[in-house]
Amino acid sequence: MAQGPLEKAIGRRQDLLRKNADLRAEIEKNNGEISEIDVALAIMRNYAPLGQLPGLDEDVRSVYGNLASMTVPDGIATILRKRGEPLPVRELVDLLERTGKMTLGGKNNSINVIQVLNRFPKRFKKAEDRRGKTTWTLAQANGHLPGLELIEEKLSG
């Protein structure tokens, strides 16, 4: 028997309410895991040497250096090189803001970072994380940072 518009609307509403309940349960589960991780990170910070936990240290300038004095592409390359893993644009913007390279909360910061990443395909390449979200990584190990090629040649030679 065909459902009328009222039955369809009521059925859809019930589906959405069930989905919301499932999502709330997942959020609660995730919040519990985040709390556990925060406790573990607090302990790690007590024993890790300063600057040895990129992305976790409170003082990002001690980890990434003076990004404010670099160009945005060099700053992004430095972040990606030191982290050693692909990062989403949101996290790159956050780090650039926290190190003083970009204005905190600037309206166009994400757009500017995306433009830089797309403008330099020999330096940066898109990747996907396990969930299919877009992240960015270095196209080459040294990230085309000025002078690193010479240092790496001396170390390998």
pLDDT (mean) for 126-153: 71
Percent of the chain with pLDDT over 90: 32
Give the domain ranges of the chain: 1-47, 66-156
- Over residues 45-75, the pLDDT tens digits come to 667 655 555 555 456 777 777 888 889 999 9
Residue 40 pLDDT > 90:
no
The torsion region of residue 91 among left (phi > 0), alpha (psi -120 to 50) and beta comes to alpha
Question: The dihedral of CA 75, 79, 85, 89: what is its sign?
Answer: negative
Between 100 and 11, the more confident residue is 11
Asked if 83 and 141 touch (Cβ cutoff 8 Å), the reply is: no
Number of residues in the chain = 157
Nearest CA to 133 out of 86, 97, 73 is that of 86
Confidence bin at 154 (pLDDT 50/70/90)? low
pLDDT at 127: 87
CATH number (3.40.50.1820, 1.10.10.10, 2.60.200.20, 2.40.50.140) of 66-156 reads: 1.10.10.10
